[in-house]
Amino acid sequence: DSKACRPLKCSPLLVKQAALNGIPDCFRGTVWFKLAAADRIATQNPSRFGQLVRMRCGHDDKIRSDLHRTMATIHFFRGEGSRGQEKLFNV
């Protein structure tokens, strides 16, 4: 709900307690980004994500072949080469 999606400023203990009750969808990406210290890493290495996305690995073809089965009922992930599948591949 919109009340749950307002920005919070609170102590780490309160964040932990709230997370145990479930992180609202609208905050999930931001929360994990902060908890993983990705914001700090992105500031220190602004071009690193782009470098990693362009790197190939020996499993790329297998990963791409499985994308259509991942979250197949969600419209965002439907369609080979869709925006959702590309974002998922980059994870």
Predicted TM-score (pTM) above 0.85: no
Sign, Cα dihedral of 38, 40, 46, 47: negative
Mean pLDDT of 13-25: 79
Torsion of CA 23, 25, 26, 31, to 10 degrees: 40
How far, rounded to the nearest angstrom, does the alpha carbon of residue 38 sit from its chain's CA centroid? 11
**Spatial contact of 71 and 77, defined as CB atoms under 8 Å apart:** yes
pLDDT 10s digits, 40-76: 888 898 898 889 888 988 999 998 888 888 888 888 8
* SS3 (DSSP) at 39: helix
49's CB contacts (< 8 A; 6+ apart) are: 42
Mean pLDDT of 5-9: 58
**Spatial contact of 70 and 88, defined as CB atoms under 8 Å apart:** yes
pLDDT 10s digits, 24-37: 778 888 888 888 88
The label of the residue with tokens 């690995």 reads 57
